[in-house]
């Protein structure tokens, strides 16, 4: 085995190991959440995933961003098929291992090149929209330095990867036309042939071109492995999680609020004495916090809310349609989801460091204020707009429940309603005897 192949195998194995380690941590963090059954109506779930995650149906509601995103998405998925060939070449020391496909291979390489060019252009437009045109939803309060940098880094990496791919092909194409040893005649190069002419590759000697081709080949594959390992640290983890997240979507009507099974059982038993009260809650596992009514911390949210947090693309579509946000309230559903992820990662780091969970004196309320929570109208415009079916309202409701049931801190308007229900048996400030008075007017 050549030194180059050994080096390739080492880099590849290290990248796969590190990625697997980080994905296992993300999975562990998601499973810190409460249990939730979301496997009913599987046929409907597969159809939804095909339409929303694979078909990107909610992205194209905003046609410009939607179409650009589809190009980048298709570029990322399809061009990476080519990575399979790179891996085989890297391990076995071959060159263009799939060239035996003949005409089909030319068609594939030609299509990859066109997609690479379109992806390059789409990423450049995305960068301009974010950093030159400074579209408002990318510069709001929660888009602090890291989320902005993250978006810039990933778009720049994609541009560099596409550039390396095209330059590699440009050098390869020139070497093929020179009849250089090892460079088999294979592929079609509609874009890189133009680049080769533009950069004057035809005037360079074979050793310089081999140097360019090898450099771009290594840059391309190391870049892809680096990109893979960057994903778990980035909002771009949605590339992987969008599919399961949509599959596990809530299928009930959006505005149907989940109940609290233990509370529902207790109320039923109070109303109907023939129904026995539910058993007391199970003792928490050693080292884990006790069960709360509602959500104080990430442990009290469902695993789906935690998966939502890791799936958020930080696109801000939810916030841009949120009536509370649009009328100047503090609430931003995107911030709620981002804060949940940040807190979850914080909890994960404590577990990594101490080997188990130890209370760090913080919780979700260290990041999300009561003012934000009570500003929500539960209209669900945010869940409707989210391209990956994230449900920020579920987090908001669970945190509100904690405020009301454990802290006795309802919002002032809710407090007034509780009082009128207690005094008048109705949500309004009139007694039941006045209910029909409107008919007389």
Closest CB to ligand SF4 among 26 and 315?
Answer: 315
37 vs 304: CA distance, rounded Å: 10
Do residues 56 and 387 make contact, with C-beta atoms less than 8 angstroms apart? yes
Query: Applying CB under 6 A, which part among 34-42, 124-132, 378-386, 426-434 lies near ligand SF4?
Result: 378-386
As measured in angstroms, the least distance from the Cβ of 338 to ligand SF4 is 8
Tell me which residue of 284, 293, 230, 288 sits closest to 261, measured CA to CA: 293
Long-range contacts of 170-179 (CB under 8 A, 24+ apart): 170/195, 170/196, 170/199, 170/201, 171/196, 171/201, 171/209, 171/210, 171/212, 171/213, 171/216, 172/96, 172/213, 174/201, 174/202, 174/204, 174/209, 175/206, 175/209, 175/210, 175/213, 178/206, 178/209
Among 30, 322, 347, 403, binds ligand SF4 (CB under 6 A): 322
- For residue 325, the minimal CB distance to ligand SF4 (Å) is 6
Under rule CB under 6 A, residue 242 binds ligand SF4: no
CB of 75 to ligand SF4, least distance (A): 20
Alpha carbon distance 381, 400 (integer Å): 19
Could you say which of 143, 376, 399, 403 contacts ligand SF4 (CB under 6 A)? 376
Number of residues that bind ligand SF4 (CB under 6 A): 27
Nearest CB to ligand SF4, comparing residues 159 and 386 = 386
DSSP state of 131: I
114, 191 in Cβ contact below 8 A? yes
Return the sign of the alpha-carbon dihedral for residues 275, 280, 284, 290: positive
- Can residue 333 be called a binding residue for ligand SF4 (CB under 6 A)? yes
Residue 140 interacting with ligand SF4 (CB under 6 A): no
- Asked if 380 interacts with ligand SF4 (CB under 6 A), we say yes
C-beta of 174 vs 340, nearer to ligand SF4: 340
Q: Does 341 engage in binding with ligand SF4 (CB under 6 A)?
A: no
Q: Which stretch binds ligand SF4 (CB under 6 A): 97-105, 115-123, 377-385, 399-407?
A: 377-385
Q: Does 312 bind ligand SF4 (CB under 6 A)?
A: yes
Smallest gap from residue 189 Cβ to ligand SF4 (A): 37
Decide: is 164 part of the binding site for ligand SF4 (CB under 6 A). no
Among 209, 337, 395, 399, binds ligand SF4 (CB under 6 A): 337
Closest to 245 measured CA to CA, from 391, 348, 380: 391
To the nearest 5 percent, what fractions of the chain are helix, strand and coil?
70, 0, 30
Decide whether 192 or 249 has the Cβ nearer to ligand SF4: 249
Q: What are phi and psi of 77, to 5 degrees?
A: -70, -50
Taking the complex as a whole, the smallest distance from the CB of residue 336 to ligand SF4 amounts, in Å, to 7
Stretch that binds ligand SF4, among 124-132, 142-150, 312-320, 340-348 (CB under 6 A): 312-320
Question: How far apart (Å, rounded) are the C-alpha atoms in residues 439 and 441?
Answer: 6
- Which tokens go with 225? 């492995």
Residues of this chain, 10-39, that bind ligand SF4 according to CB under 6 A: none
Structure tokens at 344: 């979850």
**Using the rule CB under 6 A, which residue among 60, 379, 404, 405 binds ligand SF4?**
379
Measured from the CB atom, is 52 or 312 closer to ligand SF4? 312
Q: Does the footprint of ligand SF4 cover residue 381 (CB under 6 A)?
A: yes
Nearest-approach distance from CB 316 to ligand SF4, in angstroms: 5
Single residue of 227, 313, 344, 398 touching ligand SF4 by CB under 6 A: 313
* 175 scored as a contact of ligand SF4 (CB under 6 A): no
Which residues in 384-403 contact ligand SF4 (CB under 6 A)?
A: 385-386, 388, 390, 392-393
143 binds ligand SF4, rule: CB under 6 A: no
Using the minimum distance from each CB to ligand SF4, give the nearer residue, 366 or 380: 380
Report the first-to-last Cα separation within the chain, whole angstroms: 94
In angstroms, the CA 58 to CA 72 distance is 16
Is 318 near ligand SF4 (CB under 6 A)?
yes
Block residue for tokens 């503090």: 330
Identify which of 315, 307, 253, 255 has the alpha carbon closest to the alpha carbon of residue 61. 315
Q: Is 377 in the site for ligand SF4 (CB under 6 A)?
A: yes
Minimum Å gap between C-beta 142 and ligand SF4 is: 9
Task: Name the 3-class secondary structure at 302.
Answer: strand
Q: Which of 103, 101, 131 is nearest to 188 (CA)?
A: 103
The span from the CA of 49 to the CA of 53, in Å, is: 5
Residue numbers of the site for ligand SF4 (CB under 6 A)? 312-318, 322-324, 331, 333-334, 337, 376-382, 385-386, 388, 390, 392-393
């Amino acid at each position: 085995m050549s030194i180059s192949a050994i080096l390739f195998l080492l880099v590849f194995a290290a990248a796969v190991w590190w990625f697997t380690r980080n994905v296992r941590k993300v999975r562990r963090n998601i499973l810190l959440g409460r249990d939730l059954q979301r496997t009913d109506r599987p046929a409907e779930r597969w159809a939804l995933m095909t339409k929303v995650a694979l078909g990107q149906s909610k992205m194209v509601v905003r046609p410009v961003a939607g179409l650009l995103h589809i190009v980048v998405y298709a570029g990322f998925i399809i061009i990476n098929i080519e990575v399979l060939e790179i891996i085989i070449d890297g391990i076995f020391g071959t060159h263009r291992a799939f060239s035996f496909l003949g005409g089909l291979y030319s068609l594939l390489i030609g299509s990859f090149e066109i997609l690479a060019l379109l992806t390059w252009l789409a990423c450049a437009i995305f960068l301009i929209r974010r950093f030159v045109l400074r579209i408002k939803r990318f510069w709001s309060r929660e888009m602090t330095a890291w989320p902005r940098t993250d978006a810039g880094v990933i778009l720049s990496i994609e541009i560099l990867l596409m550039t390396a791919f095209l330059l590699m092909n440009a050098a390869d194409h020139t070497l093929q036309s020179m009849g250089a040893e090892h460079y088999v005649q294979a592929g079609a190069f509609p874009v890189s042939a133009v680049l080769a002419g533009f950069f004057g590759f035809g005037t360079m000697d074979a050793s310089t071109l081999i140097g360019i081709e090898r450099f771009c080949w290594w840059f391309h594959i190391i870049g892809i492995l680096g990109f893979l390992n960057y994903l778990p640290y980035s909002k771009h983890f949605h590339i992987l999680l969008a599919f399961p997240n949509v599959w596990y979507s809530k299928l009930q009507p959006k505005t149907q609020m989940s109940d609290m099974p233990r509370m529902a059982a207790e109320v039923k038993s109070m109303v109907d004495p023939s129904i026995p009260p539910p058993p007391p809650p199970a003792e928490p596992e050693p080292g884990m916090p006790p069960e709360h009514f509602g959500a104080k911390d990430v442990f009290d949210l469902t695993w789906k809310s935690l998966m939502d947090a890791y799936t958020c693309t930080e696109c801000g579509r939810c916030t841009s349609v949120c009536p509370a946000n649009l009328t100047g309230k503090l609430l931003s559903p995107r911030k709620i989801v981002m804060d949940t992820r940040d807190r979850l990662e914080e909890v994960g780091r404590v577990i990594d460091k101490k080997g188990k969970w130890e209370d760090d004196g913080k919780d979700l309320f260290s990041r999300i204020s009561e003012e934000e929570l009570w500003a929500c109208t539960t209209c669900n415009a945010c869940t409707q707009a989210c391209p990956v079916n994230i449900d920020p309202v579920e987090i908001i409701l669970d945190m509100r429940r904690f405020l009301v049931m454990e802290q006795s801190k309802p919002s002032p308007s809710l407090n007034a309603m509780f009082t009128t229900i207690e005094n008048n048996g109705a949500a309004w400030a009139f007694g039941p005897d006045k209910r029909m008075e409107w008919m007389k007017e």
